[in-house]
Structures are given as C-alpha cells and as structure tokens.
Amino acid sequence: MGKISINLRRWLLVALAAPALLATGQSPIDTIPAPKNQLSVDVQILGRGESRYGGLPAAPKVDEEESESENDNVPKSNFVLSRTRLPINFQRDWLEARVTPQHSGVWGQAGRGAFNLHEAWVKMTTRFGMFAQVGRVALNYDDERIIGSDEWAMASSSHDVLRLGYEGHGHKAHIILAYNQNANVTLTGGSIYEDGAQPYKTMHTAWYHYDVPRFPLGVSLLFMNIGMQSKLTNKPDKTWFQHLAGGYMSFQPEHWKAEAAYYKQFGKNEHGVKIDAWMASTKVTYIQSPRFNVTAGYDHLSGDKYFAVPTGHNIGMIHHDVIKGFSTVYGSHHQFYGAMDFFYVSAYHHGFTPGLQNAYIGSTYCPLKNMMINASYHYLAMATNLDDMERTLGHEIEFQAAYSISRDVSVSAGASFMWGTETMERLKRSSSKNNLRWGWITLSVNPRIFSFKW
C-alpha cells in the first residue's frame, strides 16, 4: 500500500497568496511555513510457523518416573504464531505521542488470542535535550541483555513508567520510575500487587551512557531497584527489594567491534532470601566487509548448587540462605543463550538454576544486498558443580537466513539442532537428551498506510 500525504492547508494558502507574491518575484511556496503537525499510521503483521521436536523445556510431572523409552516423552509440536500491530504516531515540535494496539496469539487458539495496548505514551522534549515520557513504553537499553522489548516473543514486553532524561553532547541519562498495584486492594487501603501484567510492584532504574568524542568507545552504567511483593504468608504486605548494578561497553575501531558487560545482583527476593549473584559477558566481532563478519563470545551467569526452597515450605532437601542464581530480569533473552530457548526464557524445575556458561562462535554472510545468511555454534554448560553430574549441558548448532522482498516485506527462516547430555535431561530442560531440533519460518509485513501533515 502506498503512502498518502495530505497538506490541504498549505496548498490553500499558496493558492490565495500566489498572485501578489508572483508580482514581487517571490516563490509562493517559500513564504509558507512548513507543517508543524505530523500524523502517521503503520501496519505491522508478523506470522511465524514453528516445528519442534524436543525443542521445548519439559513440563514438570506429578509422576517423575521415567518412561521405558526416552523418546516417548519427547514433545512434538507444530504451530503458527501471529502478531498484528497498528502503530499510530503523532509529533509536533516538543510533543510526541504513540499508541500501538496489538493482537497476538496462536492460530486456532481458544479466545482468539490476546488483545492489548503494547505502547501508549506521550513524550515532551525541551530544546536543551531534557525530556519527560509517561505511559506504556517498550524499553530497550544497550544490547538488551537486562532491559529489552523481547520482540521475538509475540506478546513482546512493555512497561508502565515515568521516564525522565537528558540527551546531548554525547551524554544520555535516564531515570525510570514504575509503581504497580491491584485496584481492588487499593480501594480497601492495602498495598498489594499480585498476578499483574508487570512482573514487579515497583521499579526504579538509572541509566547513563557516554560516547567518547572522536573515539569509537561507548560506555553505559545501569542501576535497578526492583520491589517484589512478599510471598511469605506471615508478611503479605511487605515489599522485598532486589538490586542490580553494572555496566556495558562497546568499542568499535575499523573492522572490529568488542563488547563487554558485567552485572551484580544483591538484596532479597520475594521470599526474603538474600541474593548474591553476578554475570559477565564478552563478545568480539571481526567485520571483514559489510557483507561478511565473524563473531565469538562467552557468557557466564552464576548459579545455585542445590534446589532453592522458600522459607516455610517443605519441598526439596536444601533451604538456601543465599540465592546465587543470576536473574536476567527484563531482557530480550532469545538472542543470547541459544535460539532453542532452553535457558532463561522458561523457569527451571522447582525454580532451581545452576547458572550457565555459553561459549559461541558464528559468522554472517550477505551474498546479496537484501539477503543474509548466518550460522553459529554454542557450547552450553552449568556454572556450578552438582553431585554426580557433568557440567556440560549440550552443543547447539543454528542456521538462519533472511531475505527482504521489498522495503515493507521480508521473510526469514531458521533451524537449530542440539545434542544434549544426561545433565540436560536430569535438570528437566528436555524430556530427552538426543534428537532435539527446531525449525521456523517468518513473514513480516510493515507498510506505512497513512501520513498526514498540517
């Protein structure tokens, strides 16, 4: 569909002023001020078909006895996911607004999927670089490892926040504030937040980024204070606070790009258990040309040695005094720890996490201007030692290709294969350690259907 641009007021003024202006030798169009208001409407339609054989974490079972044949419990599934968005954007001088209705679901799903507002915000900016933004916002910071919109997931992620900031002269400083509460409890004077759309009760975040002048180095610092509603029956009104602090660096001289990050987690979780966790990552890319590059990297996320058992519960054998398993909180997880999403996209059995080591290497090649091919390998292992278990979880190989049919239409496809270990199976990441495979194909259509200026 083509772009429609309408500016009736501008051309009406030109027509009325033309006779007098032509007599003086001036151009009528040059004397009319440019439009100050802009309104646009886009359509974003995304459909993804998936075929999985063992490519999903195993669901916990009441009866944990193993089947005689390991392949009996391998989940096999074929399905089509879809997402439709209608972004509506408005801009005028210092004021900007966006509303994005969204529908997401699986073809044939009961209830016809979910309809919600993915984004709904207004933003006010001063000429000095300061801004204030309020509403439902899709947040993306740095490489999206800690805070990202997670666009791979059909529902995606957004936050109801007040964001204040400054951007200018190589500096970016943002403060994000969020507070969530259940309305029915609020009316009775309570302060409870349970089973809401957001995963936290309160969230206070400070982010600072600096790009060094005339030098290809960017550095970010991040601090988060996340308030979680208590899960303790004897302290239902209490809010426990967990903290995250760390930074991200990107250095990109000619033909190279180096990235590194480190984050520390501390405070207490929703069960009042102390947190002492960390993660570190490094990634190096050699850019031979715009058509070819090679990437290698390593991620280390700390983990626990035994099952974490909340206070007052009697399941499991060990009660943790300290949680050492790192949480990747609100990041775009799919792009980091293997495309089959065994880790950090879904929770471990009984909430236990032994951490993760992810060593990987890959390459991207563009045989055509509008075509991309990528292949990569991941070695996955636990970060901690568990009794009678080897650290290695498995080896994953991934292939992906993307082709832009036009400016508004693209298609992509991928396939992943994993050879797991007995550790992988015992940790309930899969019902089988062998024959784990997953394939997908995606169609994305993103036309601008309407544009209006006045």
If you average pLDDT over every residue of the chain, what do you get? 85
Q: What is 35-90+184-191+212-218+230-453's CATH number?
A: 2.40.160.40
Can you tell me which residue has the tokens 């032509």? 22
Greater confidence (245 vs 23) lies with: 245
pTM for this predicted structure: 0.85
Q: Residue 136 above 70 pLDDT?
A: yes
Greater confidence (444 vs 435) lies with: 444
Q: Residue 34 above 80 pLDDT?
A: no
Instruction: State the pLDDT confidence band at 65, using cuts at 50, 70 and 90.
Output: very low
Alpha-carbon distance of 95 to 90, in angstroms, equals 8
Instruction: State the pLDDT confidence band at 414, using cuts at 50, 70 and 90.
Output: very high
For residue 361, give every residue at least 6 positions away whose Cβ sits within 8 Å of its Cβ, in sequence order, or none: 294, 295, 296, 297, 376, 377
Q: Residue 376 above 50 pLDDT?
A: yes
pLDDT tens, position by position, 319-357: 678 889 999 999 999 999 999 888 887 766 556 788 999
Instruction: State the pLDDT confidence band at 111, using cuts at 50, 70 and 90.
Output: confident
pLDDT tens, position by position, 211-232: 999 999 999 999 999 999 988 8
pLDDT tens, position by position, 248-279: 999 999 999 999 999 999 999 888 889 999 99
pLDDT tens, position by position, 177-215: 999 988 766 556 667 887 778 889 999 999 999 999 999
Instruction: State the pLDDT confidence band at 12, using cuts at 50, 70 and 90.
Output: very low
Write 4-12 long-range contacts (CB < 8 A, 24+). 4/449, 4/450, 4/451, 4/452, 5/451, 5/452, 5/453, 6/452, 6/453, 6/454, 7/35, 7/453, 7/454, 8/454, 9/35, 9/454, 10/35, 10/453, 10/454
